[in-house]
Structure 1
Amino acid sequence: MRLTWLIVFLVLACAAGYGFTIAFRKKLNILLLGAKDEPFAQPGVRWKNFVSKILLQSKMIKEPYGVVHFFIFWGFIFICLGEIPFILEGLFPQYPIPFLGTNPYFFLVKDVLAALVFVGLMVGLIRRWIVRPKRLYRTMEAFLVVLFIMLVILTEWISTGAKYALEPHSVAYALDPVYRSVAALLSGLSESALVGIRDGVWWFHTVILLIFLVYIPNSKHLHLIAAPFNAYFGSLKPLGGQIKKLDLEDETVEEFGVSRIEGYTWNQLLDCFACGECGRCMDNCPANLSGKPLNPKELLSRTLKHHLLAKGEVMQKYGLKSTGEESAEAIAEIAATHPEDAAILQQSLINDVVTEDVLWSCTTCMSCQVQCPVSNEHVNKIIDLRRYLVTMEGNFSPELQATFRNIENNSNPWGVGWNKRDEWAAELNIKRMGEAENAEYLFFVGCAGSFDNRARQVSAAVAKIFQAARVNFVILGSEEKCCGEFARRAGNEYLYQSLVAENVELLNGYNVKKIITTCPHCLNTLRNEYPEFGGHYEVIHHTQFINELISSGKLKLKQDPVSEPQKIVYHDSCYLGRYQQEYTAPRELFSKVPGVQLMEMDRHHDKSFCCGAGGGRMWMEEHLGERINDMRVEQALAKKPQAIGANCPYCITMLEDGIKETQDSEQLVQVVDPAELIVKLI
């Protein structure tokens, strides 16, 4: 009898194993069609990320349901361990498995966690099918996975409970409340009935388990396997330094940026399989929430993934490694006999798969990546597509065309003459870099701080604070040029790299070591992106630096309350907050102003809502959905403040524009940088 069991089990297991292997190998081969990359350096840091993000579920537990998922994750691991003695002892009952099959404490822990998994799955079903948040799609695929896991748990409980009823003196199950409860329910049945339940349910459980095994690599729940690898192989660069440098002088490169799915690196494509479709990205994406066509979850888990699978399967079918120019002749031959396959191979990633409106909706705020619990990287995929559009096709909006031209002609997006860059400092007696020796700090004012009338006020306030604290600083004056941040994120890599080359030559020529800036966009670019081009500087934001001046006693403040509004609601900028993880310094500065009561918006810190200016959007009109800056202003005004605090010139502009759109002109709420209040106390 047991020999028959063993033969049937081996046949089923081999069939399931074969099905799993074929499906998994197909996905792996498709993944390896991506461009080569070598994310293997710093294994110690990578293992730390793996432990934090996967084993400890550090990102997942930041939301209430994430705690439920934590127990589902660990419960699932113990359930899988419990399958070893359950299956083997069903086949070889006379040979108990050491430790796993005989240790009562293991079964106790396993089934406590399994019970929590079962409850968690019930909560998940209610949440997805009854509460119905928009971020969770209601699909048969999602339902089947929950059903499979619940059946695996229930059938193991019933079969082992029947076994315990047959062997009431078994030490292994003595502490387990679930098995004891099931055994108690079945205690009135005959021995033959108990044997029938034990064996029949064992087979039902085994078949369900093997079906589930085959189903995983053929469904979105491939993320159970892909997510741990994604956490390990994810980028170790700072969040703001992950854009890949293009070698524009390499004449062997067919295209710059990405226009074909295989143009992404294999570990970028791994994101598509790692996505668990939890929807945290879409729940925190300002483009999605404002009604624009970009949905980061849809982009990864549906659009790019489905195209990758379809195209990858055809490429494997014909042995193609690429669909670039070198494959044109082969694709033409395929078109003669299989036009439907050729049509898939000839699809452009841009417009045929991802629309331009999707690409240009992104503000590069990074909220999607920061919220993602499995380390997916959405933003750089969008920037890579933009870089192809702009660099290879010259395809971009008229607004961007004018702004790019302004930078080319006058080294700033405003298009104001370069000789007027230091007009804001005309009456402040600030030395220029060429006039001073051994200056400790360069105040990199930035284009907004030099040309935007509102941002100029912040620049002046910061300079006055530095002078009061006797900081040894200089500015570049008319020698300063745009850092290039906007150009790069808008896809113009040529313009960006030309600006970087000029700036690095200038800064290194002056032997600059330390830089202070009021613009978080400049901060991120100079700190995280310039090193790849030979520019290695210690860069700090003005709020961080001023906070240090006060804390160290180098800057003394009056304790008289300022005449400014006192209830201030604070807005975290994306490029200082999420990109640099700096949330404390600006808040501490506001708190140092006597009489100021600082308030938080509902969306704050790493969940702060973008102002809408990043990623080149500052220079583009919003034609789709709601205006993002208007939405952020409404969130701020809901707290009934007297002022909105900000730390970025782009944010100040966008918030002030939003206030003008939503408020009576006679009762406008102010937007203030903390430096503008601190300067009144020196």
Structure 2
Amino acid sequence: MRLSWLIVFAVLLVAAVIAFTKALRKKISFIMLGAKEDRFDQVGKRIGNFVNNILLQGKMVKEPYGVVHFFIFWGFIFICLAEIPFMFEGVFPKYAIPFLSTNPYFYLIKDILAGLVFLGLIIGLIRRWIIRPARLYRTLEAALVVIFIMLVIITEWMGNGAKLALAPNTAAYALDPIYKMFANMLSGMNEADLLTFRDVVWWVHVGILLIFLVYIPNSKHLHLLAAPFNAYFSSLKPIGGQMNPMDLEDEEATEFGVSRIENFTWKQLLDTFACGECGRCMDNCPASISGKPLNPKELMSHTLKRHLIEKGSVMLKYGLKSTGEEFSEEIAKIAEANYKDAEILEKKLIGDVIPEDVIWSCTTCMSCQVQCPVSNEHVNKLIDMRRYLVTMEGNCSPELQTTFRNVENNSNPWGVGWAKREDWASDLDVKRMNEVENVDGIEYLYWVGCAGSFDARAKKVSIAVAKILKAAGVNFAILGTEEKCCGDFIRRAGNEYLYQSLVTENVEILNRYKVKKIITACPHCLNTLLNEYPAFGGEYEVIHHTQLINQLINNGKLKLNKDVQLETQKIVYHDSCYLGRYQQEYKAPRELFGKVPGVQLIEMDGNHDKSFCCGAGGSRMWMEEHLGERINNMRAEQALAKKPEAIGANCPYCITMLEDGLKEKMADEELIRVVDPSELIVQLI
């Protein structure tokens, strides 16, 4: 009889493995349609990312339910290990696998974890179907995997419980309370019925397991296999320096940016299959929360993945590697034979698949990417599509077109004459680099930035910082009229050509003056100079003004007069995206506020890496906000909910956006201030 079992089992197993392998190979073929990208360097760091984000569930456990998922993850691994002896002994009952079949401690640990998994799945069902958070979709697909895992656990318990009832002295199960519970439940059955029950349960278990095996690569639960690889291949670059390079001098390039799904890199396509649809990205996306059409979860797990599968299937069918102009004749032939396939191939990624409003809604705040537990990289996909729209089609909003022209003509987005860039420092006796005889004696270049040079509100911070540096004896200078826009918003708006021209000019100037260290009051400038300029020959040590000022005070180089009586203030603090999530700097600004007598610093509900964006990043500062609620108004309202006397910020964009939001929300009241810590510190020197 066992020979027939073996034959049937072998046939079913081989069929399931073939189906699994075929589906998996097809998904891998879709991924390999993407452009080349080197993600095979620094093996040690990549293994570290894998251990932290997969084995230790580092990002997952940052939320309460993530702890449940941790036990589900490890319990599932032990359940899979227990499948080996369970399946083997069903076919070969007289044999045992060393350790796995005989060790009572293995089964005890396994069933403690299996019990936790079962409990976790129940909690998950309650959470998804009863509590019903918006980020968790209630679909049959979502329910099936829970049902499958529960049935695998229950049938294994029942099968081994029957075996224990047949042989009560089985040493391997001596410590297992769950097997004993099921054995007691079955103790009233006679031996023949127990044998039949055991065998039926075993076959049911096998059927469920093999169906589950085939189901995984054909469902969203492919992320069980894709996520570990995604974590391993995650970017090792700083968050602010992960943008894919664009070689504008490539004579063989037919287009720049991404206009077709296969133009994304293989890693960007792997992201779509790694997504577990947990919804943390959409829960923390300011565009999604404010009612914009961008939903990073939908974009990743549904829109892009479905389009990849649909188009990839047709491309593989006809052996196409691309659907660019060079393949137009092949597509025309396909249209003659099968117009539906041709329609799929000709479907436009931008417009037909992803509306332009989705692409332009992103503020590049990086909250989606920071919160993602499987290391997906959302933002660069949107920027790559912006690059195509702007570079290839000249397609962007009228406001951005005006801003681009302002930068082209006057090197700043406001369009103010470049000759006025240093006017903010006219009364400060600040050195200009072109006036310094020995540039080697300059410790820091103060990169003022466009906002700090031209915006009336931001100039107050520039002046405060300069006065503090002078009081601390820091030897610094500015570029003055030689400084140009760093290009942050230009690159994120997709205008790579203008960005690279600015970078080339700025790097040439900075290197001519042998600049090594830069201080800036703008986190956007900081990120661009620190993380993006190195690719263009600009290697600098860049520090934010709050970091340097905090160091100067802590090192005793800047003495504060604590006898100065400032107005007692309850300040609610806003973390800027580009200093917080991008640079992981949360400590320095808070410590600075804490050094001011009379300041009581309080936190917003969304703080540190879950801070809510002001709405200005990713070129949105220069664009009208027509869809949904204004993001800056929402952030201002969140601040006002804490009943503060002032709002603390560290970025000129944030200060502008928050002040505008306060004007909207406090139209009939006396406005509270938005203050940079340097504006308080300067009063103490």
**2:390 maps to what in 1?**
390
Distance across 2 between alignment mates of 1:520 and 1:31: 35
Counterpart AA for 1:541: H
Aligned to 1:611: 614
Aligned-partner Cα distance in 1 for 2:253–2:234: 25
Partner of 2:401, secondary structure, is helix
Q: CA deviation at 1:100?
A: 0.5
State the Cα distance separating 1:562 from its structure 2 match. Answer: 4.3
2:208 aligned with 1:208, yes or no? yes
2:464 corresponds to 1:461: yes
User: What is the rounded CA distance, in whole Å, between the counterparts of 2:467 and 2:601 in structure 1?
Assistant: 24
Q: 1:501 and 1:664 mapped to 2: Cα distance? A: 45
Match of 1:54? 54
Aligned ranges 1:228-627 → 2 under 5 Å = 228-436=228-436, 437=438, 438-560=441-563, 562-627=565-630
Which consecutive segments of 4 or more residues in structure 1 shift more than 6 A? none
Aligned partners of 2:516 and 2:192: how far apart in 1? 83
1:656 has 2:659 as partner: yes
In 2, are the aligned partners of 1:564 and 1:677 still within 8 Å (CA)? no
Is the counterpart of residue 677 in structure 1 residue 680 in structure 2?
yes
Q: Which amino acid aligns with 2:340?
A: E
Aligned letter for 1:166? L
Structure 1 residue 564, shift from structure 2 partner: 3.8
Equivalent residue number for residue 10 of structure 1: 10
SS of structure 2 residue aligned to 1:333? helix
Hey, what does 2:183 align to over in structure 1? 183
Q: Is the alpha carbon distance of 1:36 and 1:130 closer, same or farther for their aligned partners in structure 2, counting shifts above 3 Å?
A: same
- Secondary structure of 2:596's aligned partner: coil
* Cα distance between partner residues in 1 of 2:127 and 2:158: 27
- SS of residue paired to 1:93: coil
Are the aligned partners of 2:566 and 2:598 in contact in 1 as well (CA < 8 Å)?
A: no
The answer on whether the counterparts of 1:161 and 1:179 sit within 8 Å (CA) in structure 2 is yes
Contact 2:49 2:231 in 1 (8 A): yes
Question: Which stretch of structure 1 is more off in the superposition, 562-571 or 324-333?
Answer: 562-571
Q: What is residue 38 of structure 1 aligned with on the other side?
A: 38
Kept in 1, the 8 Å contact 2:432–2:478? The answer is yes
Question: 1:446 touches 1:519 (CA, 8 Å); kept in 2?
Answer: yes
Change (3 A) 1:617 1:332: same
Give distance in 2, aligned partners of 1:197 and 1:416. Answer: 84
Which residue of structure 1 aligns with residue 70 of structure 2? 70
TM-fit CA distance, 1:234: 1.1
Is the partner of 1:667 in helix, strand or coil?
coil
Q: How far apart in 1 are the matches of 2:512 and 2:560?
A: 37
* 1:123 corresponding residue in structure 2: 123
What is the CA–CA distance in structure 2 between the aligned matches of 1:211 and 1:562, rounded to whole Å? 73
- The yes-or-no answer on 1:632 pairing with 2:646 is no
Q: Are 1:81 and 2:84 matched, yes or no?
A: no
Q: Give the superposition deviation at 1:666.
A: 4.6
**In structure 2, distance between residues paired with 1:19 and 1:256:** 38
Structure 2's unaligned 5+ residue stretches are none
Post-superposition offset of 1:193: 1.3
C-alpha spacing 1:560/1:66, structure 2 compared with 1 (3 Å):
same
| Amino acid paired to 2:620 | R
Distance 2:250 2:35 in 1: 16
Alignment deviations for residues 287-321 of structure 1 (CA, whole Å, 9 cap, x no partner): 00000000000000000000000000000000001
1:194 to partner: Cα distance: 1.1
Q: Indicate the SS of the match to 2:171.
A: coil
Aligned-pair distance for 1:492?
A: 0.2
1:193-248 per-position Cα deviation (integer Å, ceiling 9, x unaligned): 11111110000000000000000000000000000000001111100000112100
Distance 1:533 1:400 in 2: 25
SS at 1:237 equivalent: coil
Report the TM-score, using the length of structure 2 for normalisation. 0.99
Write the letter of the residue equivalent to 1:314. V
* Contact map agreement 1:655 1:671 (CA 8 A) in 2: yes
Q: How far apart, CA to CA, are the structure 1 residues paired with 2:190 and 2:50?
A: 50
SS in 1 for 2:311: helix
The structural deviation recorded for 1:479 is: 0.5
Q: What letter is aligned with 2:676?
A: D
Kept in 2, the 8 Å contact 1:561–1:595? The answer is: no
Opposite residue 543 of structure 1, the aligned amino acid is T
Q: Distance in 1 between matches of 2:505 and 2:238?
A: 24
CA distance in 2, matches of 1:97, 1:325: 59
Contact 1:562 1:593 in 2 (8 A): no
**TM-score if structure 1 supplies the norm length?**
1.00
Look up the match of 1:169: 169
> Deviations 1:516-542 (Å, cap 9, x if unpaired)?
000000000000000000000000000
1:642 to 637, 641, 645: 645
Quote the Cα distance in structure 2 between the aligned partners of 1:321 and 1:101: 49
Distance, in Å, in 2 between the alignment partners of 1:500 and 1:510 is: 15
Q: Give structure 1 stretches of 5+ with no counterpart.
A: none
**1:357: Cα distance to partner?**
0.2
Task: Give SS of 1:594's match.
Answer: coil
- Deviation of 1:667 (Å): 1.3
Cα separation, partners in 2 of 1:411 and 1:564, compared to 1, 3 Å: farther
Deviation at residue 670 of structure 1 after TM alignment: 0.4
2:170 counterpart letter in structure 1: S
| Aligned-partner Cα distance in 2 for 1:499–1:446 | 13
Aligned AA (1:186): L
Contact 1:562 1:677 in 2 (8 A): no
Paired residues of 2:136 and 2:278 also in contact (CA < 8 A):
yes
Deviations 1:172-194 (A, max 9, x none): 00001100111111111111111
Alignment partners' CA distance in 2, 1:654 and 1:330:
51
Structure 2 counterpart of 1:194, which letter? L
| Identity across matched positions, percent | 74
